[in-house]
Protein backbone atom coordinates (compact mmCIF):
# COMPACT_ATOMS: atom_id res chain seq x y z
CA UNK A 1 0.00 0.00 0.00
CA UNK A 2 1.03 3.59 -0.52
CA UNK A 3 1.05 5.24 2.89
CA UNK A 4 1.56 8.86 3.86
CA UNK A 5 2.51 10.29 7.23
CA UNK A 6 1.77 14.00 7.50
CA UNK A 7 3.58 16.47 9.73
CA UNK A 8 4.03 20.16 10.47
CA UNK A 9 6.11 22.00 7.86
CA UNK A 10 9.77 21.69 8.76
CA UNK A 11 9.52 18.34 10.53
CA UNK A 12 9.90 16.22 7.38
CA UNK A 13 13.50 15.20 8.06
CA UNK A 14 12.81 14.19 11.66
CA UNK A 15 9.72 12.24 10.60
CA UNK A 16 11.69 10.48 7.88
CA UNK A 17 14.32 9.49 10.46
CA UNK A 18 11.58 8.16 12.75
CA UNK A 19 10.17 6.07 9.90
CA UNK A 20 13.64 4.73 9.11
CA UNK A 21 14.02 3.70 12.76
CA UNK A 22 10.71 1.80 12.46
CA UNK A 23 12.21 -0.22 9.61
CA UNK A 24 10.20 1.42 6.84
CA UNK A 25 12.05 1.03 3.54
CA UNK A 26 12.16 3.69 0.88
CA UNK A 27 10.51 7.01 1.67
CA UNK A 28 9.54 10.01 -0.46
CA UNK A 29 9.70 13.47 1.03
CA UNK A 30 6.90 15.97 0.30
CA UNK A 31 6.05 19.31 1.86
CA UNK A 32 4.54 18.41 5.23
CA UNK A 33 4.39 14.68 4.50
CA UNK A 34 6.47 11.56 3.94
CA UNK A 35 5.32 8.84 1.56
CA UNK A 36 6.27 5.20 2.19
CA UNK A 37 5.09 1.71 1.39
CA UNK A 38 3.76 -0.75 3.91
CA UNK A 39 0.96 -2.97 5.15
CA UNK A 40 -1.58 -2.70 7.96
CA UNK A 41 0.94 -3.56 10.66
CA UNK A 42 2.94 -0.53 9.49
CA UNK A 43 -0.22 1.56 9.76
CA UNK A 44 -0.74 0.41 13.35
CA UNK A 45 2.91 0.74 14.33
CA UNK A 46 3.34 4.22 12.87
CA UNK A 47 0.14 5.49 14.52
CA UNK A 48 1.30 4.06 17.83
CA UNK A 49 4.91 5.21 17.68
CA UNK A 50 5.51 8.29 15.52
CA UNK A 51 6.27 11.31 17.70
CA UNK A 52 6.43 14.00 15.01
CA UNK A 53 3.55 12.97 12.70
CA UNK A 54 0.03 14.41 12.50
CA UNK A 55 -1.71 11.54 10.72
CA UNK A 56 -1.14 8.32 8.83
CA UNK A 57 -3.13 7.96 5.60
CA UNK A 58 -3.63 5.11 3.11
CA UNK A 59 -3.87 6.12 -0.55
CA UNK A 60 -6.97 4.38 -1.92
CA UNK A 61 -7.03 5.74 -5.45
CA UNK A 62 -6.12 8.65 -7.68
CA UNK A 63 -7.81 9.88 -10.88
CA UNK A 64 -7.88 12.94 -13.14
CA UNK A 65 -10.74 15.30 -12.20
CA UNK A 66 -11.18 18.59 -13.99
CA UNK A 67 -14.82 18.98 -12.99
CA UNK A 68 -17.43 17.71 -10.57
CA UNK A 69 -18.65 14.90 -12.79
CA UNK A 70 -15.14 13.51 -13.15
CA UNK A 71 -14.70 13.70 -9.37
CA UNK A 72 -17.91 11.73 -8.79
CA UNK A 73 -17.22 9.21 -11.57
CA UNK A 74 -13.75 8.37 -10.24
CA UNK A 75 -15.07 7.85 -6.71
CA UNK A 76 -17.92 5.66 -8.02
CA UNK A 77 -15.56 3.57 -10.10
CA UNK A 78 -13.55 2.74 -7.02
CA UNK A 79 -16.60 1.43 -5.11
CA UNK A 80 -17.59 -0.61 -8.19
CA UNK A 81 -14.30 -2.53 -8.03
CA UNK A 82 -15.49 -4.81 -5.23
CA UNK A 83 -12.46 -7.09 -5.31
CA UNK A 84 -9.81 -4.41 -5.32
CA UNK A 85 -7.87 -4.74 -2.07
CA UNK A 86 -5.40 -2.88 0.10
CA UNK A 87 -3.12 -5.39 1.80
CA UNK A 88 -5.97 -7.89 2.12
CA UNK A 89 -8.77 -5.42 2.95
CA UNK A 90 -11.07 -5.48 -0.08
CA UNK A 91 -13.19 -2.70 -1.43
CA UNK A 92 -16.50 -4.49 -0.85
CA UNK A 93 -15.70 -4.88 2.85
CA UNK A 94 -14.38 -1.34 3.24
CA UNK A 95 -17.35 0.35 1.59
CA UNK A 96 -20.15 -1.72 3.17
CA UNK A 97 -23.10 0.67 3.46
CA UNK A 98 -23.70 0.02 7.18
CA UNK A 99 -20.40 1.81 7.84
CA UNK A 100 -20.70 5.56 8.39
CA UNK A 101 -18.34 7.90 6.61
CA UNK A 102 -16.98 11.42 6.66
CA UNK A 103 -15.14 13.26 3.94
CA UNK A 104 -12.79 16.21 4.10
CA UNK A 105 -11.24 17.85 1.08
CA UNK A 106 -8.49 20.22 0.08
CA UNK A 107 -7.94 21.76 -3.34
CA UNK A 108 -4.95 23.49 -4.85
CA UNK A 109 -3.82 24.54 -8.34
CA UNK A 110 -7.01 23.02 -9.82
CA UNK A 111 -9.96 24.19 -11.85
CA UNK A 112 -12.29 23.38 -8.97
CA UNK A 113 -11.43 25.63 -6.08
CA UNK A 114 -14.39 25.16 -3.76
CA UNK A 115 -13.53 22.37 -1.31
CA UNK A 116 -17.21 21.96 -0.40
CA UNK A 117 -17.89 21.12 -4.04
CA UNK A 118 -15.06 18.59 -4.02
CA UNK A 119 -16.47 16.98 -0.87
CA UNK A 120 -20.00 16.92 -2.24
CA UNK A 121 -19.15 15.40 -5.62
CA UNK A 122 -16.84 12.72 -4.24
CA UNK A 123 -19.49 11.83 -1.65
CA UNK A 124 -22.11 11.67 -4.44
CA UNK A 125 -19.89 9.32 -6.43
CA UNK A 126 -19.28 7.04 -3.45
CA UNK A 127 -22.85 6.77 -2.17
CA UNK A 128 -24.45 6.49 -5.62
CA UNK A 129 -22.14 3.56 -6.35
CA UNK A 130 -23.05 2.00 -3.00
CA UNK A 131 -26.74 2.26 -3.89
CA UNK A 132 -26.03 0.59 -7.24
CA UNK A 133 -23.91 -2.17 -5.71
CA UNK A 134 -25.69 -2.84 -2.41
CA UNK A 135 -29.07 -1.09 -2.64
CA UNK A 136 -28.16 1.08 0.36
CA UNK A 137 -25.75 3.89 1.14
CA UNK A 138 -23.58 4.87 4.08
CA UNK A 139 -24.78 7.68 6.27
CA UNK A 140 -22.53 10.59 7.00
CA UNK A 141 -21.15 11.00 10.51
CA UNK A 142 -18.81 13.96 10.61
CA UNK A 143 -17.87 13.55 14.27
CA UNK A 144 -17.13 9.88 14.67
CA UNK A 145 -17.20 8.06 11.32
CA UNK A 146 -16.24 4.43 10.70
CA UNK A 147 -14.45 5.60 7.56
CA UNK A 148 -12.63 8.93 7.71
CA UNK A 149 -11.86 9.84 4.11
CA UNK A 150 -9.86 12.70 2.65
CA UNK A 151 -9.70 13.99 -0.89
CA UNK A 152 -6.76 15.97 -2.09
CA UNK A 153 -7.34 17.72 -5.38
CA UNK A 154 -4.07 18.97 -6.79
CA UNK A 155 -3.41 20.02 -10.38
CA UNK A 156 -6.79 18.53 -11.38
CA UNK A 157 -5.80 15.12 -10.01
CA UNK A 158 -7.95 13.73 -7.19
CA UNK A 159 -6.45 11.43 -4.57
CA UNK A 160 -8.74 9.62 -2.16
CA UNK A 161 -7.14 8.71 1.16
CA UNK A 162 -8.26 6.81 4.21
CA UNK A 163 -7.33 8.54 7.45
CA UNK A 164 -6.23 5.83 9.86
CA UNK A 165 -5.52 8.18 12.78
CA UNK A 166 -8.73 10.09 13.50
CA UNK A 167 -7.83 12.71 16.11
CA UNK A 168 -4.46 14.13 15.03
CA UNK A 169 -1.56 12.22 16.53
CA UNK A 170 -0.25 15.24 18.42
CA UNK A 171 -3.25 14.90 20.73
CA UNK A 172 -1.55 12.36 22.93
CA UNK A 173 -4.28 12.51 25.55
CA UNK A 174 -2.31 13.76 28.57
CA UNK A 175 -2.96 17.46 28.16
CA UNK A 176 -5.92 17.93 30.46
CA UNK A 177 -5.07 21.57 31.27
CA UNK A 178 -3.42 24.17 29.06
CA UNK A 179 -1.88 27.58 29.54
CA UNK A 180 -1.30 30.44 27.16
CA UNK A 181 0.63 29.50 23.99
CA UNK A 182 1.18 25.79 24.68
CA UNK A 183 3.43 24.05 22.18
CA UNK A 184 1.90 21.16 20.21
CA UNK A 185 3.01 17.76 21.44
CA UNK A 186 4.62 16.79 18.13
CA UNK A 187 6.61 20.04 17.98
CA UNK A 188 7.73 19.41 21.57
CA UNK A 189 8.77 15.89 20.54
CA UNK A 190 10.65 17.39 17.59
CA UNK A 191 12.60 19.56 20.06
CA UNK A 192 13.65 16.41 21.94
CA UNK A 193 14.63 14.52 18.78
CA UNK A 194 16.42 17.56 17.26
CA UNK A 195 18.47 17.95 20.46
CA UNK A 196 19.91 14.44 20.00
CA UNK A 197 19.70 14.05 23.76
CA UNK A 198 20.81 10.58 24.86
CA UNK A 199 18.65 10.42 27.96
CA UNK A 200 21.44 11.30 30.36
CA UNK A 201 21.09 13.88 33.12
CA UNK A 202 18.12 15.88 34.37
CA UNK A 203 15.66 17.69 32.11
CA UNK A 204 14.99 21.30 33.12
CA UNK A 205 12.30 23.53 31.63
CA UNK A 206 12.42 26.81 33.57
CA UNK A 207 9.46 28.30 31.64
CA UNK A 208 7.49 25.09 31.54
CA UNK A 209 3.95 26.35 30.95
CA UNK A 210 1.73 23.27 30.74
CA UNK A 211 4.74 20.92 30.79
CA UNK A 212 4.63 19.61 27.22
CA UNK A 213 8.39 19.70 26.61
CA UNK A 214 9.01 17.79 29.85
CA UNK A 215 6.37 15.19 28.98
CA UNK A 216 7.79 14.55 25.51
CA UNK A 217 11.38 14.31 26.79
CA UNK A 218 10.20 11.83 29.41
CA UNK A 219 8.26 9.71 26.95
CA UNK A 220 11.36 9.45 24.74
CA UNK A 221 13.69 8.68 27.66
CA UNK A 222 11.41 6.00 29.10
CA UNK A 223 10.90 4.40 25.69
CA UNK A 224 7.15 4.94 25.83
CA UNK A 225 5.24 5.17 22.58
CA UNK A 226 3.76 8.50 21.54
CA UNK A 227 0.33 6.86 21.61
CA UNK A 228 0.76 5.08 24.95
CA UNK A 229 -2.05 6.89 26.74
CA UNK A 230 -4.20 7.85 23.78
CA UNK A 231 -7.76 6.55 23.75
CA UNK A 232 -7.98 5.30 20.19
CA UNK A 233 -7.37 5.59 16.47
CA UNK A 234 -9.58 5.36 13.40
CA UNK A 235 -7.89 2.13 12.25
CA UNK A 236 -9.44 0.32 15.21
CA UNK A 237 -12.85 0.74 13.55
CA UNK A 238 -11.79 -0.88 10.30
CA UNK A 239 -12.97 -4.46 9.71
CA UNK A 240 -9.44 -5.86 9.51
CA UNK A 241 -8.30 -4.53 12.90
CA UNK A 242 -6.66 -7.31 14.87
CA UNK A 243 -6.34 -6.42 18.53
CA UNK A 244 -3.94 -9.23 19.34
CA UNK A 245 -1.50 -8.18 16.65
CA UNK A 246 -1.80 -4.54 17.69
CA UNK A 247 -1.08 -5.49 21.29
CA UNK A 248 2.10 -7.23 20.18
CA UNK A 249 3.18 -4.05 18.36
CA UNK A 250 2.45 -1.98 21.44
CA UNK A 251 4.86 -4.12 23.45
CA UNK A 252 7.84 -3.32 21.22
CA UNK A 253 10.32 -0.78 22.70
CA UNK A 254 9.31 2.64 21.42
CA UNK A 255 12.70 4.35 21.55
CA UNK A 256 15.61 2.58 19.82
CA UNK A 257 17.55 1.15 22.81
CA UNK A 258 20.83 2.47 21.38
CA UNK A 259 19.45 6.05 21.55
CA UNK A 260 19.47 6.04 25.36
CA UNK A 261 22.69 5.87 27.38
CA UNK A 262 22.69 2.81 29.66
CA UNK A 263 21.94 3.52 33.31
CA UNK A 264 20.39 6.94 32.67
CA UNK A 265 17.68 7.92 35.12
CA UNK A 266 14.75 10.24 34.43
CA UNK A 267 14.53 13.45 36.47
CA UNK A 268 12.30 16.35 35.42
CA UNK A 269 12.31 19.94 36.74
CA UNK A 270 9.61 22.41 35.71
CA UNK A 271 9.50 26.05 36.79
CA UNK A 272 7.05 28.74 35.76
CA UNK A 273 6.33 32.27 36.91
CA UNK A 274 2.58 31.58 36.99
CA UNK A 275 0.79 29.43 39.55
CA UNK A 276 -1.77 28.41 36.94
CA UNK A 277 0.98 27.09 34.66
CA UNK A 278 2.55 25.02 37.44
CA UNK A 279 -0.87 23.63 38.25
CA UNK A 280 -1.48 22.74 34.58
CA UNK A 281 1.95 21.10 34.29
CA UNK A 282 1.22 19.05 37.41
CA UNK A 283 -2.17 17.93 36.09
CA UNK A 284 -0.72 17.01 32.70
CA UNK A 285 2.31 15.14 34.00
CA UNK A 286 0.02 13.26 36.38
CA UNK A 287 -2.24 12.30 33.49
CA UNK A 288 0.87 11.17 31.57
CA UNK A 289 1.91 9.03 34.58
CA UNK A 290 5.09 11.09 34.95
CA UNK A 291 4.41 12.99 38.17
CA UNK A 292 6.74 10.71 40.16
CA UNK A 293 9.68 11.86 38.06
CA UNK A 294 8.90 15.58 38.29
CA UNK A 295 9.74 18.45 40.62
CA UNK A 296 7.52 21.43 39.80
CA UNK A 297 7.49 24.84 41.41
CA UNK A 298 6.52 28.43 40.82
CA UNK A 299 9.55 30.62 40.37
CA UNK A 300 11.61 32.82 38.13
CA UNK A 301 13.65 31.07 35.44
CA UNK A 302 16.46 33.49 36.16
CA UNK A 303 16.61 32.51 39.86
CA UNK A 304 16.40 28.75 39.46
CA UNK A 305 19.53 26.81 40.44
CA UNK A 306 19.70 23.71 38.23
CA UNK A 307 21.01 20.38 39.54
CA UNK A 308 24.80 20.08 39.47
CA UNK A 309 25.03 17.29 36.90
CA UNK A 310 24.42 18.51 33.36
CA UNK A 311 21.47 17.31 31.30
CA UNK A 312 18.96 18.78 28.88
CA UNK A 313 17.73 22.37 29.18
CA UNK A 314 14.48 22.97 27.30
CA UNK A 315 13.12 26.44 26.72
CA UNK A 316 10.05 27.81 25.02
CA UNK A 317 10.13 31.45 26.06
CA UNK A 318 7.04 33.62 25.68
CA UNK A 319 8.40 35.59 22.76
CA UNK A 320 5.96 34.53 20.05
CA UNK A 321 3.59 36.64 18.09
CA UNK A 322 1.22 37.33 20.95
CA UNK A 323 3.79 37.54 23.73
CA UNK A 324 6.23 39.90 22.11
CA UNK A 325 9.66 40.17 23.74
CA UNK A 326 12.71 42.30 23.24
CA UNK A 327 16.26 41.52 22.09
CA UNK A 328 17.44 42.35 25.64
CA UNK A 329 15.34 39.50 27.04
CA UNK A 330 16.92 37.08 24.58
CA UNK A 331 20.37 38.30 25.58
CA UNK A 332 19.46 37.77 29.22
CA UNK A 333 18.42 34.24 28.38
CA UNK A 334 21.71 33.62 26.57
CA UNK A 335 23.61 34.89 29.61
CA UNK A 336 21.60 32.59 31.86
CA UNK A 337 22.43 29.61 29.66
CA UNK A 338 26.13 30.41 29.61
CA UNK A 339 26.40 31.06 33.34
CA UNK A 340 24.22 28.39 34.95
CA UNK A 341 24.08 25.60 32.39
CA UNK A 342 27.68 25.00 31.44
CA UNK A 343 28.10 21.47 30.06
CA UNK A 344 24.37 21.13 29.28
CA UNK A 345 22.68 20.54 25.96
CA UNK A 346 20.00 23.19 25.38
CA UNK A 347 17.08 23.25 22.98
CA UNK A 348 15.17 26.47 22.48
CA UNK A 349 11.87 26.76 20.65
CA UNK A 350 12.11 30.34 19.47
CA UNK A 351 8.85 31.71 18.16
CA UNK A 352 10.36 34.25 15.86
CA UNK A 353 12.91 34.05 13.09
CA UNK A 354 15.16 36.93 14.10
CA UNK A 355 15.09 37.35 17.84
CA UNK A 356 16.81 34.07 18.65
CA UNK A 357 20.07 35.50 17.32
CA UNK A 358 20.19 37.94 20.26
CA UNK A 359 20.84 34.96 22.48
CA UNK A 360 24.56 35.52 21.70
CA UNK A 361 25.44 31.83 21.29
CA UNK A 362 26.01 29.86 18.12
CA UNK A 363 23.50 27.04 17.73
CA UNK A 364 24.84 23.64 16.69
CA UNK A 365 21.63 23.16 14.69
CA UNK A 366 18.71 25.29 13.65
CA UNK A 367 15.44 23.95 12.29
CA UNK A 368 12.68 26.21 10.94
CA UNK A 369 9.24 24.77 11.75
CA UNK A 370 5.64 25.83 11.59
CA UNK A 371 4.14 25.79 15.09
CA UNK A 372 0.40 26.07 14.40
CA UNK A 373 -0.07 29.50 12.82
CA UNK A 374 3.42 30.69 13.80
CA UNK A 375 6.84 30.41 12.25
CA UNK A 376 9.29 29.05 14.76
CA UNK A 377 12.87 27.82 15.06
CA UNK A 378 14.20 24.89 17.01
CA UNK A 379 17.69 25.94 18.10
CA UNK A 380 20.09 23.48 19.70
CA UNK A 381 23.13 24.60 21.71
CA UNK A 382 26.03 22.78 23.31
CA UNK A 383 26.90 24.90 26.31
CA UNK A 384 30.62 24.46 27.01
Residues of this chain that bind ligand SAM (CB under 6 A)? 179, 181-183, 206-207, 209-210, 212-213, 271-274, 277, 300-302, 316, 318
Closest CB 182 distance from ligand SAM, rounded Å:
4
Closest CB 353 distance from ligand SAM, rounded Å:
16
Closest CB 224 distance from ligand SAM, rounded Å:
18
133/272 with CB nearer ligand SAM: 272
117/304 with CB nearer ligand SAM: 304
96 contacts 134 by C-beta, under 8 angstroms = yes
Closest CB 277 distance from ligand SAM, rounded Å:
4
Closest CB 192 distance from ligand SAM, rounded Å:
12
Sign, Cα dihedral of 33, 34, 35, 38: negative
69/321 with CB nearer ligand SAM: 321
173/318 with CB nearer ligand SAM: 318
Closest CB 297 distance from ligand SAM, rounded Å:
10
3/189 with CB nearer ligand SAM: 189
Closest CB 337 distance from ligand SAM, rounded Å:
14
164/179 with CB nearer ligand SAM: 179
240/329 with CB nearer ligand SAM: 329
Amino acid sequence: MDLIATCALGLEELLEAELAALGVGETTRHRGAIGFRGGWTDVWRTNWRLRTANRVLVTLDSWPAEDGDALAAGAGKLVDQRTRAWDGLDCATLFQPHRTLALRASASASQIRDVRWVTLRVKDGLVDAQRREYGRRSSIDKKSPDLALRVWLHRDQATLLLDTSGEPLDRRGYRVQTTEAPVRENIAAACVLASRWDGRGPVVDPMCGSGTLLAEAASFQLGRAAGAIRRGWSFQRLPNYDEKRFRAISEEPATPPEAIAPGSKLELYGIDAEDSAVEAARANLTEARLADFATLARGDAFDFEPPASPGLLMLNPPYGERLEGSPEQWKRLGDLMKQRYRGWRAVVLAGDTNRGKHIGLKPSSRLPVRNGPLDARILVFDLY
